[in-house]
Chains A and B, each alone.
Chain A
Amino acid sequence: MNITLKVWRQKGPNQLGAMETHKMTEVSGDMSFLEMMDVLNDNLIRGGKEPFAFDHDCREGICGSCSMFINGEAHGPGRNVTTCQLHMRSFKDGETIHVEPWRSAAFPVIKDLSVDRSAFDRIIQSGGYVSVNTSGATIDANAIPIPKHDADEAFDSATCIGCGACVATCKNSSAMLFVAAKVSQLSLLPQGKPESKERVIRMVDQMDLEGFGNCTNTGACEVECPKGISITNIARMNREFLSSNLTSK
């Protein structure tokens, strides 16, 4: 099929950007979106032009690197998919496709479609862990039984890939879904309980410090999350946050 691409071009964080138009022919429906971008870049390079920079790595939907805002949606039109798992069969012959980077003040553009998401790392560093040493001298893994339901629920929260689609799609650029997923995972497990009060406060503080917006319950994050992480995580985090503030010394 033939498509028209309008792709964001921005030389660096402090330069102005603009959409650039490219026509593509003979696009196969079995191509992934990123493979289509590879072909575009190959054409550009051979034509003596600059290719578009974009982040990608595993190309199987799990590393969280890829991050394109396609036709006004984070990771494009599919549900529960990352850009790398989106295939061109999701588009129509003759369609015009707009490709932009994640847009959020907390995710500055590095170049073209690539943004800096290190704010997420700093949020995890503020408390997204269990303070246990790595000596291996802990208790036997089966010493504390965990109800299957709790373990499964913690797992669902833990599947967050840190891609930032929730932030990109939120009109407030809120990172609540990302933070809530980690807070939930650890508060659902007995191993995370001892620090749960401090953790939620520290992580929310860091989130605010990074310049992310607040949650106004539009639910867009849940719709666009490639891992289908539910906004009930946000409700759980709010509950944790409130009770921590009310009961901590």
Chain B
Amino acid sequence: MLDSRIPEGPLAEKWSKHKDNIRLVTPANKRLIDIIVVGTGLAGSSAAASLAEMGYNVKSLCFQDSPRRAHSIAAQGGINASKNYQNDGDSVHRLFYDTVKGGDYRSREANVHRLAEVSGSIIDQCVAQGVPFAREYGGLLDNRSFGGVQVSRTFYAKGQTGQQLLLGAYSALSRQISKGKVEMLNRHEMMEVVKVDGKARGIIARNLVTGEIERHSAHAVILCTGGYGNAFYLSTNAMGSNASAAWRAHKQGSFFANPCFTQIHPTCIPVSGHYQSKLTLMSESLRNDGRIWVPKSKDDVEAILNGSKLPRDLKEEERDYYLERRYPAFGNLVPRDVASRAAKERCDAGFGVNKTGHAVYLDFASAFVRYGKTEALTKGISNPSDETIVELGREVIKSKYGNLFDMYKQITDDNPYETPMMIYPAVHYTMGGLWVDYNLMTTVPGLFAAGEANFSDHGANRLGASALMQGLADGYFVLPYTIGDYLADDIRTGKISTATVEFDAAEKKVKDEIKALISNNGDTPVDDFHRRLGLIMWEKCGMSRNEKDLKEAIAEIQELRKEFHSNVLVPGSENEFNPELEKATRLADFLELGEAMCLDALTRAESCGGHFREESQTPDGEALRDDENYTFVSAWEYTGSPSEAKLHKEDLVYDNIELKQRSYK
């Protein structure tokens, strides 16, 4: 049933051979073919721009007021590529290996290798577009390190790499819009996939300004609609980030893969109050220079909480740099899942350093000294005082992470140059997503998924700076080739009509759903339900999971879903700009997806990557994989309700990598 269509042959030749052998569509025929791209993040903008440039007629949709605002823009730290500019032994194979290992051996070898192969072209492409990456004094590109790797392969633009890459893709998209090759529909939300004879042939969309329900047809539909982290309500995702397009595709027959694989990012600003609407990430790049610690003794925790001691009063030997203690080989740069669990372990043991008990320190004091000493030497300052060294060091840190420090101060009112940052893990990224084959096509013919919306490259845990790489790889360099293989059959199909029974039925379904929400006459606003869903997900399907909790969560979500549909209050009408209605339609889908996540987590009774089952751990509390029974992708088929989904397994075959228990010690 599941055919991943991975090409034959040696791993390193699969992609080039596949490109040589897949079918092409001639330039003249491309003009006869329409493609819809939903979403304008890195994957969506780059795909829409590339496909339009090749000659296809592209329609691009985003729910934001401009394609430039998709949440890729908020990615901070950087983008990986195996350029080996630093001559530290990097290679395509090493990037491939690190990514598979970092994903805890739950991703597809062939897809990850392809990703590593095209990574270098992404940097070339972005530089050619005028993306202002950080440079060294010699004028060449600078790199830094990210978690889970031992080389420096991360390209960056201060703490705003995602912004610069997205604006690059947006400029490529804008160029095609100006040529009339892309029709851009801002403030439009996809509400349904329309299938004709089993193939995706269009979508139903809602114009968010007028409320009008529109029909759009195409020969293929590509979903670049991001992840589903907002199922947790509080996450680092944007407020509008949602899973509706992917979930609706799932209900139309696309299998959903590994929904329980969610990434909890270790370094986010802790929750401050019940009105909290979202969480803010502090880039992983900070772990290059920041050291994470909590006090060794509970007396010191107490003293800090009651204000009798400041964190800087604690001597070195009174601090527990627990990552350096537990993982000496990688120290503060262990992968995200490992760092997050270690923070939770310390806080659960009572060493949390803020009033909620959910915070640890990220301290730059030793980096100030280290950089300060080097600066003093280069500036020829002899016998500098300690203050001068720290002052010089602060300037260096400022040039590297200034915007992040400013953001931290703005949100917390604490000055991180004076006192350590307080951080705690938060939901950040979802590795699971729509199941796709090697061509990035879902189980519905003609329906593709790219970027965070698909599941293919990150296994059970994504390494830092790999999301930007994957989004652009899919959009610039993979889909433009692989989609031709499918569309080659459509050169004689002609325009797809929207005046068909299939479109009638899909439009009616969408209108009925909206009508039901608007005319519900309940008394509780949408966000109230979303917060409650988030709490269930965070407590029972978050950093640590067990059978009992997951079963409870499933029952609670079912109950909450019922209550939502009987008691939600959506003000206004459907024929106008109505942000509350948008939230309600998205939450209706999260309330189903949340259950699917719990079911998947329950079914996978092993720990791997971001998925930690308490029943499956080593004696010292590390995640314990069960390769014998779980070396597969869980691909769920929708059969009428989330709890009745049918599990299909895609066995993962590792011919080029030996499966090992991951160790960063």
Contacts and interface: CB of A to CB of B under 8 A. Distances in A.
B238 interface: yes
A128 interface: yes
B67 interface: yes
Contact of A133 (B53, B67, B178, B272): B53
A210 interface: no
B12 interface: no
Interface pairs A-B: 7 shortest CB-CB: A145-B139, A136-B121, A129-B171, A155-B132, A138-B128, A125-B178, A141-B127
B572 interface: yes
Interface string B161-196: 011100100111011011000001010000000000
B96 to A, nearest CB: 18
Contact of B175 (A50, A131, A186): A131
B160 interface: yes
Interface stretch (A109-117, A230-238, A240-248): A109-117
A129 B576 CA distance: 34
Interface of A: 12, 28-32, 34-36, 38-39, 41-42, 44-46, 48-51, 53, 55-65, 78, 80-81, 85, 87, 89, 110-111, 114, 116-118, 120-121, 124-126, 128-136, 138-142, 144-148, 151-152, 154-155, 158-159, 161-162, 185-186, 189, 191-192
B53 A38 contact: no
Nearest to A121: B66
Interface in B112-128: 118, 121-128
B128 A151 contact: no
Nearest to B51: A134
Interface in B135-166: 135-141, 157-158, 160, 162-164
A117 B65 contact: yes
Interface string B53-77: 1000000000011111111011000
Contact of B140 (A38, A57, A145): A145
Given A53-B577, A57-B71, A124-B170, A148 B137 contact: yes
Given A118-B66, A126-B178, A189 B132 contact: yes
A124 B137 contact: no
B128 A38 contact: no
Interface of B: 46, 49-50, 53, 64-71, 73-74, 83, 85, 118, 121-141, 157-158, 160, 162-164, 167, 170-172, 174-175, 177-178, 184, 186, 209, 236, 238-240, 272-273, 275-278, 280-281, 406-407, 410-411, 413, 476-477, 480, 523, 525, 527-528, 569, 571-572, 576-580
Contacts of A30: 272-273, 413
Contacts of B411: 32, 85, 87
A191 B127 contact: yes
A45 B571 contact: yes
A129 B164 contact: no
21 contacts: A35-B276, A38-B275, A46-B523, A61-B407, A62-B163, A114-B65, A114-B577, A118-B186, A121-B174, A125-B178, A132-B128, A138-B124, A138-B128, A139-B124, A142-B141, A145-B138, A145-B140, A151-B133, A154-B132, A155-B132, A191-B129
B67 A121 contact: yes
A31 B274 CA distance: 10
Given A121-B174, A161-B163, 16 more contacts: A45-B569, A50-B571, A56-B239, A57-B238, A57-B239, A57-B240, A58-B73, A58-B239, A60-B278, A63-B69, A81-B410, A129-B174, A134-B172, A140-B124, A158-B164, A189-B130
Contact of B83 (A48, A141, A148): A141
A130 B130 contact: yes
Contacts of B135: 145-148, 151-152
A85 B572 CA distance: 28
Given A136-B124, A139-B124, A38 B277 contact: yes
A147 B171 CA distance: 23
Given A45-B569, A51-B580, A35 B53 contact: no
A36 B273 CA distance: 12
B124 A110 contact: no
Contacts of B413: 29-30, 87, 89
A117 to B, nearest CB: 6
B46 A191 contact: no
B189 to A, nearest CB: 13
B141 A111 contact: no
Contacts of A134: 46, 49-50, 53, 125, 172, 476, 480
Nearest to B70: A63
Contacts of A34: 277
A98 B35 CA distance: 45
Contacts of A85: 407, 410-411
A124 B174 contact: yes
B164 A60 contact: no
Contact of A155 (B125, B158, B186): B158
Given A58-B74, A116-B65, A142 B85 contact: yes
Contacts of B132: 151-152, 154-155, 158, 185, 189
A41 B124 CA distance: 47
Contacts of A111: 576-577
A91 to B, nearest CB: 14
Contact of B73 (A63, A87, A191): A63
A45 B525 contact: yes
A139 B273 contact: no
A87 B276 CA distance: 12
Contacts of A55: 65
Given A85-B411, A158-B164, A35 B277 contact: yes
B277 A59 contact: yes
B176 to A, nearest CB: 9
A186 B580 CA distance: 40
Nearest to A67: B65
Contacts of B571: 44-45, 48-51
Contact of B238 (A28, A59, A154, A192): A59
A125 B181 CA distance: 12
Contact of B275 (A12, A28, A126, A132): A28
Nearest to A46: B525
Contacts of A56: 239
A50 B572 CA distance: 7
A165 to B, nearest CB: 15
Given A58-B238, A81-B410, A158-B164, A130 B128 contact: yes
Nearest to B140: A142
B275 A64 contact: no
Contacts of A155: 132, 134, 157-158, 164
A183 to B, nearest CB: 12
B129 to A, nearest CB: 5
Contacts of A192: 130
B527 A136 contact: no
A32 B277 contact: yes
Contacts of A151: 132-135, 139
A136 B118 contact: yes
B323 to A, nearest CB: 25
Nearest to B527: A42
A161 B160 CA distance: 11
Most buried by B among A120, A131, A144, A158: A158
Contacts of B171: 124, 128-130
B407 A120 contact: no
A72 B250 CA distance: 47
Contact of A148 (B74, B125, B136): B136
B192 to A, nearest CB: 23
Contact of A59 (B50, B136, B186, B278): B278
Max chain B Cβ within 10 angstroms of own Cβ: one of A31, A117, A159: A159
Contacts of A114: 65, 577
Nearest to A151: B135
A69 B239 CA distance: 21
Contacts of A129: 129-130, 171-172, 174-175
A229 B477 CA distance: 34
Contacts of A142: 83, 85, 140-141
Q: Which of A60, A89, A141 has the most CB of B within 10 A?
A: A141
